[in-house]
A and B are shown apart, each in its own frame.
Chain A
C-alpha cells in the first residue's frame, strides 16, 4: 500500500490542475486589458453611429 502510494506520487503531476485553479480564479473578474477593450469597443461603436 505504502509502495503503491509512493509509486503513484512519482507519476503524479498536479501542474495542470494548479494552472487551471489559478486561471479559474483569475477569470472570475475582468482584467484592466479587458476594461480597455470594452472602452475601445464602445468608442468604436459611438464613432460608427456618428
Chain B
C-alpha cells in the first residue's frame, strides 16, 4: 500500500458493514419497471415564489428530464399565458422531432370546468397537434375546507343556487356538487377527444379518505384514467401515508395511483417512498425540490432513498446525471441548493476533518456508503481548520509524484 490508493478489502464489504437495505419493514413496492417518475418542475416547481422560467429554458429542462429518464412531465396550464403555450409547443414539437423520448407523457393542467378544457384543447388545436397527444389533468378539491370554502361559491353558481346560501348549506351539499362538477368535466374532456385523463382533489391529505375513494371511483366511471391524490399543504406523516394510501388505492385497485407530496415538514421524499410501498405507482417530484412554500418532494431524494434503502432502481434512469440537472436548474431558476443537499449538493462527497480524511484514504467506504461514481462525482478533499497530517501528506505526495 503506497498511500495513494485505497486498501484492498480482504473480506466482502457486506460482511464488514451492514448492507443499508437489510431491515424489516412492511412496505410492498411495485416492480421497479412499473414505478413512474412524474416531474412537476415545469409547473409546480415554477410556482415557487419569485421563480419564472422562460419557455426556452423550460424546453432545455424538458430535454434533460427526458434524457435522464423521467416518464411523465407536467407542463402546466397552457391556456393561462403565451409563455405556457410556447412551452407546450416546444415540448410537443421536440417530442415529434425525437429530441424528447417518444414515450414521454406530457400532462396539461386544468380546473374542472368546460371553459378550462375548451381553452386547453384550443391551444392544442392551434399548435396543430391531436388532442390525444397529451394527458388532461382535470382537478378539483377534496377536503371539506376546500370544497365548501374555496370552491363553494363556484359550486353554487353552477347549480343556480343563490350565493347567500353559501355558509348555511352543509358540507355534504358541496361534496356532492363537487363530485358532479369533476365527473361532468371528465366526461366532457372525453367527449372532446381526450383519451388520457388524470383527475383528483387538492388537499387530499386533509380530506375524508372515504370521500377521496368516492372521487376516484366516480372519476374512473366518468372516463378518467388515472386518479391522483396530493398532500397539498405537506401535512402528511409517513404513518398517515401508511394508513390512508392503501385505503385510497383499494377504491381503484386497477388504475395507477399518483401521489404528490410537499415538503413542509421536510419529509416529502420519505412520504413519497412510503406511499410507493403502500399502493401508489406514480410519484410526482421536482428537480432540486423547488416549488410552493417549502417545495415539492425532491426528485433526487426520492430516487436515492428508493435505491439505497430499498434497492429499487428505476430502469434506464440516469442517476449519474442528477447533479448536472441540479446545476442546470440552479442556473435557470436563480435558486441554488445548499451544499449539504443529499446526492446533489457540493459537499456530498467532500471531506475535511482529520479522522474522516484519514479513513477515506484507507478506503472510501469507511465514511461513505453511496459510491460517488453512482452520482457522476468523485471524492474531494478540502483542507482547513479540521485537516489532519495524513491528508496533508496525501496532497503533498500527489503534487510531488507528478514532477
Please report A residues at the B interface, Cβ cutoff 8 Å: 2-3, 5-6, 8-10, 12, 14-15, 17-18, 21-22, 25-26, 28-36, 39
Contact = CB atoms under 8 A, between A and B. Distances in A.
Contacts of A5: 52
A32 B398 CA distance: 9
Interface string B64-99: 000000000000000011110000000000000000
Contacts of B333: 14
Contacts of A8: 52
Interface stretch (B104-112, B179-187, B362-370, B379-387): B379-387
Contacts of B57: 9
Nearest to A29: B382
Interface in B349-381: 352, 381
B56 to A, nearest CB: 8
B125 to A, nearest CB: 23
Interface in B310-343: 327, 330-334, 336, 339
A12 B384 CA distance: 36
Nearest to B336: A21
B395 A32 contact: yes
A2 B332 contact: no
Given A18-B336, A36-B395, 19 more contacts: A2-B81, A2-B83, A5-B52, A6-B82, A8-B52, A9-B53, A10-B54, A12-B334, A14-B332, A18-B331, A18-B334, A26-B346, A29-B382, A30-B382, A31-B383, A32-B381, A33-B399, A35-B392, A35-B395
Nearest to A18: B331
B13 interface: no
B252 to A, nearest CB: 36
B129 to A, nearest CB: 22
B353 to A, nearest CB: 11
Contacts of B332: 14
Contacts of B83: 2, 6
Given A5-B52, A6-B81, A10-B54, A29 B352 contact: yes
The interface centre, meaning the residue of B80, B81, B399 with most chain A CB atoms within 10 A of its CB, is B399
Contacts of A6: 52, 54, 81-83
A35 B382 CA distance: 10
A6 B347 CA distance: 33
Interface of B: 52-54, 57, 80-83, 327, 330-334, 336, 339, 346-347, 352, 381-384, 392, 395-396, 398-399
A30 B339 contact: no
Nearest to B330: A18
Contact of B52 (A9, A28, A36): A9
A30 B333 CA distance: 29
B334 A14 contact: yes
B54 A9 contact: yes
B213 to A, nearest CB: 37
A33 B399 CA distance: 8
Contact of A15 (B331, B383, B384): B331
B396 A39 contact: yes
18 contacts: A2-B81, A3-B81, A6-B52, A9-B57, A14-B330, A15-B331, A21-B336, A22-B346, A25-B347, A29-B384, A31-B382, A32-B381, A32-B399, A34-B383, A35-B383, A36-B396, A36-B399, A39-B396
* Top-9 shortest CB links A-B: A29-B382, A9-B52, A30-B383, A32-B395, A14-B334, A29-B384, A36-B399, A6-B83, A35-B395
A29 B334 CA distance: 24
B346 A25 contact: yes
B130 to A, nearest CB: 27
Given A6-B81, A9-B52, A29 B383 contact: yes
Nearest to B350: A29
B382 to A, nearest CB: 3
A25 B266 CA distance: 24
A4 to B, nearest CB: 10
Nearest to B386: A29
Contacts of B383: 29-32, 34-35
